[in-house]
Amino acid sequence: MLDTSAPEGRGERLTNEWHWDRFDNSQNLLVGFKSAPGCETRLVYEKNTFQYFIVQSCPRARYSSHRQSLLALSRVDNNFVTNRFTFEDEGKYYIGSQYADTCLADIIDCTLPLRSEHASAILRQLVGALIATSSRGLIYNRLNASKVYISRGGVVQLASFGHTLEPSQLHRVSDNPDAQAIGNLALHILRGRAPIVPQNSGDIGQKRSTIDAGRVDIAIASWGPAFADFLDQCLPAKGSTGIDVAKLHHHEFIRNGSAACLIPLVLNAERSASRPCRKEDPRLLY
């Protein structure tokens, strides 16, 4: 049993032994869309209390100090889905977080096209979360809609599993992958489908050229010049300097949306989201 007690804040002090047999996941519910193998996230409930949790697992070798730092941050910072327990079972670490109402991937799939105020409200709160990880010397890395959760009150939180974290010293401040990921997510919200993510920062220029060539100009223009400028800063053209994610916090575009505008989207997604059920061994959470 790992010590997951938090020094303060929202994290529970867990005194009981946690193990896989305490949970029922016979429904085998996936949360969000399927990404690369090893990154699936599932919904399970604790048999005695019927309390739901979001659970992801990782091999022992990937339970890094960076990952533990993010889990600790999630227990004191409301920008993240709170880590409630972590335990080891047969060579894997299982990381459980409190249940969040709906993930952004389901909202995008299950609602009418989102408007600019929705994107503004979502991105404003996410930028705050990424600034918090940066303050811990971490790059969140590979942010996507399946890692973003929105409550019925319109509160946006970032998943705290952290399997793609990197130390920030691997990147220049002006070449922060998190800023680029925010731009990709903004395009996903606008278009209703995820853009192709470059394999490395050297591909950003080519990717941006592709965006410019068939850039969905009419849709971008409909969200106004502030949104176009926001994209320009997140996804700089080839040869241009990137931006520190902290500077996005003051951008005009993400000052426009309020959390309240997200509430109808969450309620609609809860009623219409379709999550595939799997027949395989429920312990195989990769």
- The Cα 220–Cα 25 span in angstroms is 41
Strand, helix or coil for residue 22:
helix
Q: Examine the pLDDT at 132 and tell me if it is beyond 70.
A: yes
Give the other-Cβ count within 10 Å of 239's Cβ.
Answer: 6
Number of H helices and E strands in the chain, helices first, is: 9, 10
pLDDT value at position 195? Answer: 61
What distance lies between CA 172 and its chain's CA centroid?
A: 22
Q: Where are the domains of the chain?
A: 20-101, 103-268
Per-residue confidence at 21, pLDDT binned at 50, 70, 90?
confident
Angle formed at CA 186 by CA 183 and CA 190, multiple of 5 degrees: 140
Give the other-Cβ count within 10 Å of 57's Cβ.
Answer: 24
Tell me the per-residue pLDDT of 163-185, one tens digit each, with 9 for 90 and over: 666 656 555 555 578 888 999 99
**DSSP β-bridge partners for residue 161:** none
170 φ, ψ (degrees, to nearest 5):
-75, -10
Specify whether the CB–CB gap between 140 and 130 falls below 8 A: yes
Instruction: Name which of 257, 227, 259, 13 is nearest 117 in CA terms.
Output: 257
Tell me the per-residue pLDDT of 23-60, one tens digit each, with 9 for 90 and over: 887 776 776 555 445 556 778 888 888 888 888 877 77
Tell me the per-residue pLDDT of 74-100, one tens digit each, with 9 for 90 and over: 999 999 999 998 888 877 788 888 888
Q: Examine the pLDDT at 129 and tell me if it is beyond 80.
A: yes
Which CATH fold would you assign to the domain 103-268? Transferase(Phosphotransferase); domain 1 (1.10.510)
CB-hemisphere CA count at 13 Å for 263? 6
Least confident range of 118-132, 150-164, 264-278: 264-278
Q: What is the arithmetic mean of pLDDT over 7-14? A: 44
Specify whether the CB–CB gap between 60 and 91 falls below 8 A: yes
Q: What is the arithmetic mean of pLDDT over 241-258? A: 87
Q: What is the CATH number of domain 20-101?
A: 3.30.200.20
- The Cα 7–Cα 98 span in angstroms is 18
